[in-house]
Amino acid sequence: MAELSESAGIPVPTIKYYIREGLVAPGQPTGRNQADYTEEHVRRLKLVRALVEYGGLSIAVLRDLIARIDNPDLEAFDLLGAAQKTVTQAKDPRPGPYKDRAERRLHDLLTERGWRIRTGDPAYRTAVGVLATLDEVGRQDMLDVLGSYAEAAERIAEIDVGLVGDVSDREHAVEIVIIGTSVGDTLIASLRRLAQASVGERLYT
């Protein structure tokens, strides 16, 4: 395990924790206090760390994901959908008039863009919550440009889906969905801020 820790650049206690939590398979025992680890272990360890550090995923969410990946009965396309939903934290809106208005607004937007409407999806529920909140704090200006944000989001989704490629390569496809969605959010958020600073300066100075 000391060698594994060296190769992956991850401390032994962290490795033990990931194994205990079922995120990484234990090594093949070769003696009393010895076990063999493969390249696969190094890869999985680095993946788990990436998802925790830059994907904002909790250990519980990761455990759920890994169980799906390791379940060979799940069809590739279903697995991708499940993976995408799992990395999406749902924030349910409070019931009330703001929520109702947000739901109508989102419905109109999705219809306009020809996006599928699945009201149970965590992303749908979160979007309703965000729209209700923006309405409640009086940010009508942001709601007015919702269509432009959606257009930019669709452009990002096209890049995302282009990366998935051949879905029959199950392991590759699901890895790109998980990393692309979760770590991708952090990437886009940081690029957005870097761009804001420059676009803002161009405009105001």
For a copy of itself, the binding residues in 10-49 under the rule CB under 8 A are: 43, 46-47
For a copy of itself, the binding residue among 54, 68, 101, 170 (CB under 8 A) is 54
Among 123, 169, 170, 171, binds a copy of itself (CB under 8 A): 123
Residue closer to a copy of itself by CB (options 63, 118) is 118
Q: What letter represents residue 37's amino acid? A: Y
* Sign of the dihedral defined by the CA atoms of residues 35, 62, 69, 47, in that order: negative
CA 16 to mean position of chain CA atoms: 25
Nearer to a copy of itself, 35 or 107 (CB): 107
Token pair recorded at residue 181? 């969605």
Contact with a copy of itself (CB under 8 A): which of 3, 6, 100, 154? 154
Half-sphere exposure of 103 (CA within 13 A, CB side): 13
Residue number, 17 or 149, with CB nearest to a copy of itself? 149
Please identify, using beta-carbon distances, which residue of 32 and 202 lies nearer to a copy of itself: 202
Binds a copy of itself by CB under 8 A, chosen from 9, 11, 26, 29: 9
Of 20-28, 29-37, 59-67, 173-181, which segment contacts a copy of itself by CB under 8 A?
Answer: 173-181
Give CA separation, 205 vs 195, 196, 202, in Å. Answer: 15, 13, 6
Give which of 133, 127, 122, 56 is closest to 90, Cα–Cα: 122
Q: Is 67 among the residues that bind a copy of itself (CB under 8 A)?
A: no
CA neighbor of 105 nearest in space, from 138, 137, 144, 141: 144
Q: Where does this chain touch a copy of itself (CB under 8 A) — which range of 22-30, 33-41, 62-70, 177-185?
A: 177-185
Check binding of 191 to a copy of itself (CB under 8 A).
Answer: yes
Q: Which is nearer to a copy of itself, 12 or 187 (CB)?
A: 187
The footprint of a copy of itself on this chain (CB under 8 A) covers a number of residues equal to: 82
> For residues 127 and 147, what is the distance between their CA atoms, to the nearest angstrom?
13
CA atoms within 13 A on the CB side of 16: 5
